[in-house]
Every structure is written in C-alpha cells, then in structure tokens.
Amino acid sequence: MWLFLVFVTLVFGVLAGLYAWTVYQKLDESQIGHPRVAELSSIIHGGAMAFLKKEYSWLAPFVGVVAVLLVAALGLGAAFAFVLGALCSATAGWIGMYVATNSNGRTTYAALAAMPADEKAPAKKAKKPSVDLEKSEAPADENTVAEPVAPVSEGGLLSAAGNALEVAFSGGSIVGMVVVGLGLIGLAVSYLFLNDVTALTAFGMGASSIALFARVGGGIYTKAADVGADLVGKVEAGIPEDDPRNPAVIADNVGDNVGDIAGMGADLFESYVNSILAAMAIGAVYSFTQGGDALGLWGIGFPLFLAAWGVFSSIVGCMMISQKAPYALTVRSVIAKLPGMAGVVKRIDDGDAAFALRTGTFVAGGLMIAGTFVLSILFFFSNSMNVFLSVTSGVLAGIIIGIVTEIYTSGDYRFVKSVAASSDTGAATVILSGLSLGMMSTGIPVLLICLSTLISYYLAGMFGVAVAAVGMLSITGISLSVDAYGPIADNAGGIAEMSELPEGVRKITDHLDAIGNTTAAMGKGLAIGSAALTALALFVAYSQAAHIDKIDIMNPYVIVGLLIGGMLPFIFCSLSIDAVSKAAGAMIEEVRRQFHEIPGIMEGTGRPEYEKCVAISTHAALTQMIVPGVMAIVVPVLVGFLLGKEALGGLLGGSIVTGVMMALFMANSGGAWDNAKKYIEEGHFNGKGSPNHAAAVVGDTVGDPFKDTAGPALNILIKLMTVVALVLAPLF
Amino acid sequence: MWLFLVFVTLVFGVLAGLYAWTVYQKLDESQIGHPRVAELSSIIHGGAMAFLKKEYSWLAPFVGVVAVLLVAALGLGAAFAFVLGALCSATAGWIGMYVATNSNGRTTYAALAAMPADEKAPAKKAKKPSVDLEKSEAPADENTVAEPVAPVSEGGLLSAAGNALEVAFSGGSIVGMVVVGLGLIGLAVSYLFLNDVTALTAFGMGASSIALFARVGGGIYTKAADVGADLVGKVEAGIPEDDPRNPAVIADNVGDNVGDIAGMGADLFESYVNSILAAMAIGAVYSFTQGGDALGLWGIGFPLFLAAWGVFSSIVGCMMISQKAPYALTVRSVIAKLPGMAGVVKRIDDGDAAFALRTGTFVAGGLMIAGTFVLSILFFFSNSMNVFLSVTSGVLAGIIIGIVTEIYTSGDYRFVKSVAASSDTGAATVILSGLSLGMMSTGIPVLLICLSTLISYYLAGMFGVAVAAVGMLSITGISLSVDAYGPIADNAGGIAEMSELPEGVRKITDHLDAIGNTTAAMGKGLAIGSAALTALALFVAYSQAAHIDKIDIMNPYVIVGLLIGGMLPFIFCSLSIDAVSKAAGAMIEEVRRQFHEIPGIMEGTGRPEYEKCVAISTHAALTQMIVPGVMAIVVPVLVGFLLGKEALGGLLGGSIVTGVMMALFMANSGGAWDNAKKYIEEGHFNGKGSPNHAAAVVGDTVGDPFKDTAGPALNILIKLMTVVALVLAPLF
C-alpha cells in the first residue's frame, strides 16, 4: 500500500517535470533577434547564475555539517532526507533561475516584435547617450535597433501583448512546475527509502534551511542593489529607472531574479513540502473518534493525493493561459465545450491577458476543489465532509486574506491613497502612516486564521488544520507560475530600457507585470495563511513526537520559552534590515563615487563599473545571510537542551505569534509604501519629482527590506524553527 | 493583624503626602519676579489644567458605566475599589500637573536669578521680534527684562544652577511622593473596607484604566503639538524651538506637561499599585513547601511593608538632593557621619547637581535593599534568603535593563552614532537603522527578564516573581521624582525661550534636563522589567482566580487566544500612531495656514492664534484615546465569554509576549532617533541645518509617537487586560 502512495506521488511529480520540460523546449526554440537585448539578457543570466553558484558553495559546508550532526544524533535516514531536501530545493532554485533569466530577453524581444513596424525606432535616440556594457575603452554606439529577424513565434493569439505574455508566462510556469515536481519527487524518494513519516520531516528541514538562506540572501542582494540604484540614480542624479548610465543597474536586474525567482522559488518549495509533511505526520496518528483507529496510511496518503491532484489541476490551469503548452489547444477545446465556458475560452484566445491569468487560476482552483471532494469521499467515507470542509475553510480563509492584503496594499483603495496623501506633510508622516497601516493589517488576517483553525479543528482535529494548509498550497504549481511571471516581465522591461527600445515595449512589459499583481496577491494570501496553519500543525506534530503532555503557559519555563520565541523574529528582522541598509549604504557610496569619478559617465561616454556594484551585493548577501540563518537552527536546539522540551514548545508558540504578526505587518507596510509611491508617480498629489514624490520614495525605500527581505523570510523562519524541533524531538 | 497592615500602609502613605505638602509650602513661598515668565507659566498652567478637566469629564461617564457593570456582576465591593482606584489615579494626576505647571516658571526665574547681573540682558533683542501672548490687537513690547525682585531662596548651595535644580526637583519630588502616597492610602482604604485581596484587584483595574487613557491621550496631545511645532516651525520656517512666533508653541509646552507629567504619573501609579496587588494576591495563597501552609497575611503584608519602606527610603533619598526639604539638613548631617559619606555630602553641598541626583537615588536604593533584607527575615525566617534574593535578582535585572537601554539610546554610544551616521544616505536609512536598532534592543532585556523570572521562581515560586516586581518599583517615590523633574526643567527652558531671556538661562535649564537623563534611564529599565514581571504575576493570579488547571498551547482555543492576544498590541500601536499622525497633520496644516494668513506673524507684529492649536491637540487627544482604551477592556471580556477562560489565558500570554517586545522596540527606536538628532545638532555629521539634520529630524518625528505615545502605553495595556481578566475571573 505505501509503495502505491510513493508511486502515485512520483508519477505526478514526474508529470510536472515533463510539463516543464516540454514548455522549455518550445521556449528554447525562439531566438532573440536583437543583439543588445540578447547581450543584456546573457549578462543578467551570467550574473544570476554566478551568484547562485557562489551561494550554493557557501551553503554546501553548512549542509554537510548539519548532515554529519544528524547522522550522529538520529542516524543515516534523517541525514539522507535532510540532504535530499536541501538538494531538491537548490535544484529547483537553479532551474528556476536558469529558465527565468533565459526568458526575460525573449519576452523583451517578443514585445518588440509585436509592435507595428513604424514604432520600432528608438524613442529617445537624441536625448539619452548609450553606454557600452562590456568592458572596453572606446564607447561603442548601440543606438541602432536591428530589424527583428523573425517574430518569436508565428501563432501568437494573445494579440494585445503579442507573444510577450506567452513567453513570460512560459518561463513562470516552468519555475512553478519544477518546484512542485521536485517537491513530489523528493518526498516520494525519501518516503521510498525511509518508509518512516517522522524521519521524513528531515526532508522539510533541508528544504527550510535552504529556503531561509535563499530568501534572506536573495532579499539582501536585490534590495541593496535596488535601493542603491534608486536613491542615487533616480533621486539624486535624476536619471530614469534601468538607465544604463547607472552603475548599479546590472546588479539591480540580477537582483530581481535572485530575490524574486530563486528566493521565492525556495520559499514556496519549503512551504509546499512542509505543509504536506505536517499533514502526513499528523495524519499517521490521527483518528476521528476518541480512542478509535488511527488513520495511518489513509492519513499519510491523503495529503500526497491532494498534492498530486493539485499538479494535474495546475497543469490544466496553465494550459488555459499558455496556448503553446503541449495539448493546450486540445484541453481548451474540451473546456470550451463545458456549459458557459465557450465564451471564456474565446476571450482568452482573443488575447485578454489579465482575464487569461485569472481564468487559469480559477480553473485550477475549481478542479482542485472538485478533486478534494472526490478524494475526501474515497479516503474517509463517513467523515469525508469533515475533511472536505476543513480544506475548504482553509482555502476560503487564504483567498480572503489575499483580498484583504490587496485592499490594504493596492493603490486602488483608500488605505494606500491615504499613505500617499500623507506625503503632503513630508516623509515622516508617510513612514508613520505606512507603519500604522501595516500594524492594523494584522487584524483581519489573524482573525481569519483563527476562524479557519477553529473550524478545521472542530471538524477534523489537528489533521483538519494540517490538510487545510495543504489545500491552500496544492495549486502552488499555477500560483507560483503567476508569481514568477511578474519578475520575468519586470526584467524584460529593464532590458528594454537598457537597450533603449521604443517606449511602447516598456509599456507592454509594464502592462504584463501589472496584470499579474492581483492574481499574485491571492497567492500571497494563501502563502501567509498556509504558513500559519503549517506552523501550527508542525508544532503539534513536534509535541506528539517529543511526547509532551501539555505546554502550560503557567509553567515559568514555558513562559520563558514564549518570551524568547517572541523575541527571535524581532532579532531576525533587525539583522535582515541592518544587512540591507548596510549593503545599500555601501552601494550608494559606490554609485556616488562612480558618478563623481568616472569621466563622461552622465554623457554616456564613460563606462560605469557595473561589476563593482554586483560584487557589493554578492558580498553582502553571502556574508549577512549566515547569522540569521544559523540562529534559527541553533537557538531552538539550545533552548531544548538547556530548558527542556516544554520550554522549546513555548519558544515555538511565541515565535509563531510574533512571526505571523511581524510578517503581515512588514509585508503590508512595504507593499503599501511601494504602491503609494506608484500612485503618486501616476500623477496624484503633484506627481513625479514633487516633494510628495520624494517623501513617498523614502517610504518605498524603507519598505523594500520590509516586504522583500525580512517579511517573507519570517514565514520560513517560524517553520524552520518548528521543523528543527520536530526532527530533533526524539533527543529531548 | 490585617488591621495592623492597613494601619502601617496608611501611615507611610500619609507620610509621603506630608512630605509632598511641606515641600509644596516651601515652593509656594517663592515668587516669580519677571512678569513675562509669570504670565507664560500661568498660561501653560491654565492650558494644562483645562485639558485635564476636560479629560476627566470625558472619563467620568466611562468610570460610571464600568462601575455599574461591576456592581451587577461582582457586587458593590469591586465597584467601590474600581472607582477608588480611578479617583486616586486622577487625583495624583491632578496634583502632579498642578504642581509641575507651578514649578516651571519658578525654575526659569531661579535660573535667571542665578546669573551674573551683566548677563541678564536679553541675548537676541535685535534679532527676534516678540509676540504678545494675550489676545490683543496691538503688539506689546515685552523685550525688557525686569530686575529680579528677590532671589527665589537665599540659601541655595547648589551653586552651578543656582536655585533652579532645587525648584525643579522640588516640583518633581512632589509628583513622585503624591503618586506613592495616594497609592498606599488608596490600597489601605480599600483593604480596610473590603478585607478581601481578590476584590482589591479592582482598585488596580481602576488605576490601569485611567492610566491607559491618560497615557494615550497625553501622548497624542503632546506629540501632535510637538510634531506640528517642529516640522513647520523649525524645519520649514527655520525659527528656533519654543519661538513665540510659532502658533503651536503653547500647545507644545502644555503638551509636555500633559504627556510627561500627567501621563507618566498615571502610568507609574498604575505600575506601583498593580505590582503590590499582584504580589498580595499570589502571596495570600502561596506556600514555600508543597502542601504546606499558605503564607496568608504574611504574604499579603510583605509587599505592603516593602512599599512602605520604599516610601521612607525615597524620602531620605530626596533629602540628599533637595536641601530645602524639612529635616533635609539634619538627615544630611547624619549621613555625612557614616564612613565614606562625608565627601559625598560635601560634593552635593558644593553644587554638583548630576552627582546629587545619582547619590539620592543610590542612597534610596541602598536603604531599600537593607530594608528588604531585614523585612525578609522578619516575615519569612528560614525562607528569608529565598525571598530576599528574588527581590534582588529583579532589581538587578531592572538596573541592567536600564543600562542597556541607555547604551542603545544615548548619543554617547556607538548605536546612536551609527543611526546618526546613516543620515549620510538620507532619511530612509535613518529610519531603517533606527527600526533595526529598536528590534535588536529587545534581545538583552528579554533575556534578563527571563533570567530574573527563572531565578525568582526557582527561589520562591510565583511569589518570588511578584515581589521582584514590587522591589523594582518600591522606590518609585524617588525615581518618579527624577523622571518628573526632567519635563519641569524642559518646560522652564521653553518659558525662557518664549520670554526671550538671555541664552545662559536656557543653557542652565538644558543642563538640568540633561543631567536627569541617565538617572531616569535606570528608572525606565525598572519600569519595563517590572511591567513584564507584574503582568506575569497578574496572569498567574488570574489563572488561580479562574480555577484554571492548565493553559495548554496545544489546545486550539489557547492557540487562537495567543494569536488574538499577540495581535492586539499591533492594533493598539496602529491606532495610537494613526491618532498622532492625523492630529499632527491637522496641526501642521493649521500652523502653515497661520504663517501664511496672519499678517506680520514672522516679524512679530501679528499675534499667532495659539488657542486654535491647543484646540486641535485637545480634540485629538480626547476623541482618539477612546477606541484603544475601550478595546483593551472589551476584547478580553469578549474572548473570555465566547471562547472560554483558557482562551482568555492564551490571549493574555500572547499580549504579554508581543506587548513586551513592541514596548521595548518602540521606546528604544524612538529614543535612539531623538538622540541621533541631538547628536547631529551638537555639530557632528555636518550639524544643524544640513541634509543630515533634515534626515535625522524625519527619524525623530517618526520616533515621537513611538517613544511617547504607543511605546509606554503598551506596558499599561498588557497589565490592564490582565487585571480586567483577573477581576472578572469569577465570572468565567
């Protein structure tokens, strides 16, 4: 029986991989018919892969040491699963980065190819000088735009943005499918070799460790470059975003990939496998009735089947968006025959990109809910509705959290508008209103998490809470596709700017970037909700594994644990923010120095030293990710050994409480500042270049490490600490 | 026996009151021989008392409603204690404010009188125009300084600052003594009428409720005025602090009293009585040995005697500083005879003000420790060392927290210097480095709180933890004197500036303000540490009173409680910050409007409409304090009734965890920004008026509501919620 579970998991994991492979084949066929675009794409690609290589070479010894310690403490099994988890996460990050940095230039070129021939001339020929990207003494003139050799693809139906959506989304969906594919394959392989759910959790520990380092390191890299490029380039020197005269521009564009692709991919890989592992661990021992039979393999298998069905649902969803995927047209024609769907498919075929993304996600979600219903009945007969409704309550809570997040952080609603309005009285009030907004935004999501916890628990105990988290993440395949497609489009825009392509190209890529945002917000809500529920489930799994009766907060050891645990997210955030601001400070000094010392840099005749900026970001990311990452592993172990397993339980509880709050607070403050700045740039409150804008830029800069470094890493932090405790539980 | 406890408590309460009364008599004798100083002092006095009157008239119905509900739910006793607690707190606030606003002008005049005759001419006669403070059409000329009629006192030995230290500290010590005196008298009276430790806790609930409103309201008032005055007056218009041309200047000076005197007084009143109450409640049922006799009256009496001895120690300490206090010279001559103390007393007599403040506090602390030792032996015989060491560990932890706080927030150490240095790269990096510093600063204090909790608990159970908190606060009499003396000196400086007195006067008051800071930092450390320990003790008292076996964080109701409790401090901070920034925004608009619309305002020929700014602060404070205050009472009650007493226990635990973290974070970030700005103003990093300074002002402005509104109120919030739960425990 358990071999059957392994088999099914493996099959769907491989299916996801195959889908990614075929999409990649199609993507790889297309050419970039513009030399400067191709060159820039390859520089960014090279920079990103070089960073990843360095990062992994820093992490390898860490993984080795932990593995040796695990062998000594728990035996070979746990060490094997840990290393496999780390390897799968690293591989997913590597492939994702490889593909994404191969898709950005193709997206730019596809957007260029989609433009009418008479608009293909560069817009700012006379105004802006060009800078050679390769090291050379004499500045080369790249100001001519080569006529595209051939459009990227002949059959693009998404006419609004030409093939650009297709290309960018192809890249995104490869990232998404590789993550879930490797997740399932890794789980299946470790399960096959270990056949022990408890030892299996070390797989999650490996994934979490890599994820934390990747998130923190990636976040530091990208924000140091971003802040440096923005504050000196845009604000002080007054040159546009992604201007090739800005020495930090390459680091900035590499950083987008390091942070948003590799960082996010590792993050979701971790969330995905840990939600499944937590549900497996609890499912193995759960029984619906007091003293009844444990679910055993039924409880272990259900989350795996949910995930497997999620892969299938995600693939179908992707096919609704990307018509070049294998069998996509067949699938669409089948769906078009369903009642009411003919018009939907037609609208997608006519090229409504925003609608396509939304529909793809909804189709995947709908399939997922239907599948959950059927699987619940197959697995749990009389208790099927309890389980099904648990999953549904979790998914609903996640979606509402996404909507609430959107309302707090989008420029379309009053909250961000009021942050923007506070720029009338300067930077200080922008900061205060953004901080206040972020703190307030913890309210509804926390209440929703509480509600979903209570409902799921009432219906199916802690197993219900755990599978609710699995349900929220089961369509990670498509939601990560949508998430990852954004930075690809963003990067494509950067390349367009640096290549001095006509403005229309940038408009297309900006449009592509924007339309993914609302859909991505829903994914973020699911990620936050699932992080909280997964952490709770792992926490309960820990107390089972450590044979703890009760973690009584009237016990002073538990109180002390709670306080220490509650403190850790603050220390963690402090370290991350500090790392970013130090690195950004160094970057600012360097960019200022170059503007000052390199002759002709502003006229485009002097070549900026891009490499120096890349080196600053790389160095900061690698050196500064160590302490927060190691702290997350060492402190729980210390507390467990020194103060006992109840105190460790308290620590986990405390860290979940403040971790969830701080994650929501920082992500939403950061998001609101970002969009308040954009709202002003759209022309409100005196628009770009006004004192209001300058005040909003301060907010945006403060928000950068909030939303892209510390905030998202907190979700990983609380799970990593919990999974470390769970893996080591037999020792306490 | 219990009547004896009541009697002793009452005697020492009255003693504190008598001390305050005699000091006031001396203070009241002195005259202000400068009409403009007298006039300004009386305007500030009038504004402050008017605000307090309004505030109390808003709070009266609230107290009435809660009292009626308490009668219905728990009977007359609890309602009586609640109302008495609220009344005592309000009375202490009233007297403190009355005295402080009568001391500020006297301090100014004493500083003026201390100056050599040839420096008494106004320094900026030609440069700065004068504005009439009373509503009148024709601008009056106040630019002449009347020759002082007579020095405030003839025997001032503190020669450096003349009589100014004496006067300011007299005001401060009245505030301090009134708070502890009314605390002990109130406790004694309620204990006399109720003779029931559980019902007595309603006294603490009354004190906490008023304190929360006073802190939040006062914090909003003072920061709205401060931000408004600074951002438009200092930064935009470029006029100095406390310039009479600034329309917000009166509101600003009134606000200093509303926030730092009334707010802080109510705060410490609450901390003081609740630490005693928590120790009494636990002491009543605690026994040193499993199944042994409960301490009963011994456990109830010990914290009361500690507090009583603390009054005595504080009075002796105050006499070391203020030689005009009754018997001060006698006490000094006695102390001078102790080995090694002759030189100390001489140095004080010679006028070393900073040394005097420090010595007074140390003398009080030394007496307190000696007294605790004796009392421990008298009360607990064989277990005396356990209790004594518990108290000592708490006091030590508190002092070290104070030192750590000082290191994080004083311009003398590298942390604040590095925040100041980050102004090189603009406001955003100032904000980020300050936030990061604040988050990091949670680490050591939390570890110290944990350590002290573990040691005290190991030695004397939860009773040990509770009496450690009492020990930390027992010399509130003198530490509040030092705390309150700061704002009086600050206000005196404001009056000097507005009266256009010679610069030397301002220098004296600035010096007086500064020398209290280090001593005050120690007091703050004790306040933070005791808040955490008191909250824990109240929490345990709640679980005893509600007959809860265990609050197990594996129980989903407790988890939900933890999450909701952890969220409340964030919502609370958001509401407070929002209130400040809205009010400050309105103030900024109003000041800008007046600068723009009132003819001749910058030349000193047009009179600013000070009343309008006062009205804005008053309105904001009163309307915006309601929601956060009511939330703190209603939410615990709701959770208790809806989700049960265990969930309420979880809520309290969660709120203590995030409350402590946020309180430390916000207080220290705010303090660091404040001092980073001052550090730059001292001439570092390009000094005043530079872009660095502008960046630091942004940090200081963000820090204002952090350190003076939300931060300090959090300590009250967590205790108020816990004491509400404790009082209502019989209902759950």
The domain ranges of chain B are: 2-150+161-731
Higher pLDDT, B313 or A233: B313
Please tell me the least confidently modeled range out of A287-291, B60-64, B319-323.
A287-291
pLDDT (average), residues B408-421: 93
Cα gap B379→B288, rounded to integer Å: 13
Q: Are B261 and B484 in contact (CB under 8 A)?
A: yes
What are the two backbone dihedrals, phi and then psi, of residue A526, each rounded to the nearest 5 degrees?
A: -65, -40
Picking from B223, B219, B254, the residue whose alpha carbon sits closest to that of residue B588 is B223
Cβ atoms within 10 Å, residue B18:
14
Query: Which chain B residues are within 8 Å of A547, Cβ to Cβ?
Result: none
**pLDDT value of residue B129:** 52
Cα gap A408→B574, rounded to integer Å: 14
B585 inside 8 A of chain A by CB? yes
Q: Tell me which DSSP letter residue A147 carries.
A: P
Cα gap A328→A457, rounded to integer Å: 40
Picking from A188, A200, A185, the residue whose alpha carbon sits closest to that of residue A81 is A200
**pLDDT value of residue B117:** 67
pLDDT (average), residues A694-713: 91
Residue A161's pLDDT band (cuts 50, 70, 90): low
Nearest to A559 among B453, B584, B698 (CB): B453
Q: Mark A3-42 as b/e (b = at least 16 C-beta within 10 Å).
A: eebbebbbebbbbbbebbeebbebbeebebbbebbbbbbe
Residue contact A559–B653, C-beta within 8 A:
yes
Q: For chain B, state the CA radius of gyration.
A: 25
Cα gap A718→B570, rounded to integer Å: 19
pLDDT (average), residues A248-253: 90
Give me the percent of chain B exceeding a pLDDT of 70. 93
Looking at B250-325, which runs of residues are DSSP E strands?
none
* Residue B30 CA to its chain's centroid (Å): 27
Cα gap A635→A725, rounded to integer Å: 10
Residue A144's pLDDT band (cuts 50, 70, 90): very low
Q: Which of residues 644-683 of B touch A (CB under 8 A)?
A: 649-650, 653-654, 657-658, 660-661, 665
In angstroms, the separation between the Cα of residue A254 and the nearest Cα of chain B is: 23
**pLDDT value of residue B26:** 86
Which residues, 6 or more positions from A402, have their beta carbon under 8 angstroms from its beta carbon? A521, A522, A523, A524, A525, A526
Which residues, 6 or more positions from A102, have their beta carbon under 8 angstroms from its beta carbon? A27, A28, A41, A45, A171
Block residue for tokens 């996010």: A264
Q: Degrees (nearest 5) of the Cα angle B136, B138, B140?
A: 90
Picking from A452, A448, A480, the residue whose alpha carbon sits closest to that of residue A466 is A452
Q: Mark B263-284 as b/e (b = at least 16 C-beta within 10 Å).
A: bbbbbbbbbbbbbbbbbbbbbb
**pLDDT value of residue B135:** 54
Query: Which chain A residues are within 8 Å of B697, Cβ to Cβ?
Result: 428
Cα gap A724→B21, rounded to integer Å: 62
Decide: helix, strand or coil at residue A194: helix
Query: Which chain A residues are within 8 Å of B219, Cβ to Cβ?
Result: none
Residue B145's pLDDT band (cuts 50, 70, 90): very low
Cα gap A582→A590, rounded to integer Å: 12
Please tell me the least confidently modeled range out of A12-16, A514-518, B272-276.
A514-518
**pLDDT value of residue B152:** 37
**pLDDT value of residue A700:** 92
Nearest to B431 among A431, A439, A557 (CB): A431
Please tell me the least confidently modeled range out of A349-363, B432-446, B562-576, B712-726.
A349-363
Give me the percent of chain A exceeding a pLDDT of 90. 52
Q: What is the mean pLDDT of chain B?
A: 87
Residue A120's pLDDT band (cuts 50, 70, 90): low
Cβ atoms within 10 Å, residue B605:
15
**pLDDT value of residue B121:** 58
Cα gap B228→A52, rounded to integer Å: 49
Residue B131's pLDDT band (cuts 50, 70, 90): low
Q: Are A13 and A183 in contact (CB under 8 A)?
A: yes
Query: Which chain B residues are within 8 Å of A701, Cβ to Cβ?
Result: 426, 428-429, 432
Cα gap B224→B220, rounded to integer Å: 6
Question: What tokens does A528 get?
Answer: 């936050």
Nearest to B428 among A574, A650, A698 (CB): A698
**pLDDT value of residue A395:** 86
Q: Which of residues 474-503 of A touch B (CB under 8 A)?
A: none
In angstroms, the separation between the Cα of residue B435 and the nearest Cα of chain A is: 7
Residue A101's pLDDT band (cuts 50, 70, 90): very high
pLDDT (average), residues A696-710: 92
Which residues, 6 or more positions from B127, have their beta carbon under 8 angstroms from its beta carbon? none
A468 inside 8 A of chain B by CB? no
**pLDDT value of residue B442:** 96
Higher pLDDT, B584 or B125: B584
Query: Which chain A residues are within 8 Å of B543, Cβ to Cβ?
Result: 554
Decide: helix, strand or coil at residue A692: helix
pLDDT in tens, B347-396: 888 778 888 888 898 899 999 999 999 999 999 888 888 999 999 998 88
Helices (H), A75-196: 76-113, 164-194
**pLDDT value of residue B638:** 95
**pLDDT value of residue A298:** 87
Nearest to B654 among A462, A573, A657 (CB): A657
Picking from A543, A468, A535, A447, the residue whose alpha carbon sits closest to that of residue B651 is A447
Residues written for chain A: 732
Cα gap B395→B391, rounded to integer Å: 6
Closest-CA residue of chain A to B429: A581
Block residue for tokens 């305050």: B20
Query: Which chain B residues are within 8 Å of A711, Cβ to Cβ?
Result: none
Cα gap B55→B65, rounded to integer Å: 16
pLDDT (average), residues B115-136: 57
Question: What tokens does B260 get?
Answer: 């730092």
**pLDDT value of residue A154:** 35
In angstroms, the separation between the Cα of residue A204 and the nearest Cα of chain B is: 22
Q: Which residues pair with A552 in a beta bridge?
A: B552
Cα gap A291→A293, rounded to integer Å: 7
pLDDT in tens, A377-422: 999 888 888 999 999 998 888 889 988 998 999 888 999 999 999 9
**pLDDT value of residue B138:** 40
Q: How many CA atoms lie within 13 A of A551 on its CB side?
A: 34
Q: Degrees (nearest 5) of the Cα angle B345, B347, B348?
A: 65
**pLDDT value of residue B133:** 62
Query: Which chain B residues are within 8 Å of A574, Cβ to Cβ?
Result: 435-440
Judge whether residue A160 has pLDDT over 80. no
Cα gap B234→B688, rounded to integer Å: 11
* Residue A464 CA to its chain's centroid (Å): 26
Picking from B223, B375, B281, B317, the residue whose alpha carbon sits closest to that of residue B523 is B317
Helices (H), B133-196: 164-194
Residue A118's pLDDT band (cuts 50, 70, 90): low
Cβ atoms within 10 Å, residue B327:
13
Cα gap B169→B175, rounded to integer Å: 10
Judge whether residue B666 has pLDDT over 60. yes
Judge whether residue A641 has pLDDT over 50. yes
Is the sign of the CA dihedral B258, B261, B266, B271 positive or negative? positive
**pLDDT value of residue B146:** 41
Q: At what angle do helices A645-681 and A556-597 cross, to 10 degrees?
A: 40
Residue B556's pLDDT band (cuts 50, 70, 90): very high
Strand (E) or helix (H) holding A516? helix A503-545
Q: Are A478 and A360 in contact (CB under 8 A)?
A: yes
pLDDT (average), residues B224-228: 86
Cα gap B305→B471, rounded to integer Å: 11
Decide: helix, strand or coil at residue B442: coil
Query: Which chain A residues are within 8 Å of B573, Cβ to Cβ?
Result: 436, 439
Cα gap B565→B567, rounded to integer Å: 5
Interface test with B, best of A570, A646, A707 (most B CBs within 10 A): A570
Q: Which of residues 365-424 of B touch A (CB under 8 A)?
A: 422, 424
Q: Which residues pair with B552 in a beta bridge?
A: A552
**pLDDT value of residue A95:** 94
In angstroms, the separation between the Cα of residue A638 and the nearest Cα of chain B is: 14
Residue contact A661–B567, C-beta within 8 A:
yes
How many contacts, defined by CB atoms under 8 Å, are there between A and B? 232
Block residue for tokens 């399960």: A191
pLDDT in tens, B99-120: 999 999 999 998 888 877 666 6
Query: Which chain A residues are within 8 Å of B631, Cβ to Cβ?
Result: none
Q: Which of residues 684-713 of A touch B (CB under 8 A)?
A: 697-698, 701-702, 705
Q: Are A496 and A506 in contact (CB under 8 A)?
A: yes
Residue A129's pLDDT band (cuts 50, 70, 90): low
For A660-675, give the DSSP string: HHHHHHHHHHHHHHHH
Residue contact A439–B697, C-beta within 8 A:
no
Which amino acid makes up residue A461?
Answer: G
Q: Are A377 and A185 in contact (CB under 8 A)?
A: no
Cα gap B309→B9, rounded to integer Å: 10
pLDDT in tens, B170-201: 999 999 999 999 999 999 999 999 888 888 89
Judge whether residue A632 has pLDDT over 50. yes
Q: Summarize chain A as % helix, strand, coil (round to 5).
A: 80, 0, 20
Which residues, 6 or more positions from B269, have their beta carbon under 8 angstroms from its beta carbon? B88, B89, B92, B93, B179, B182, B183, B207, B211
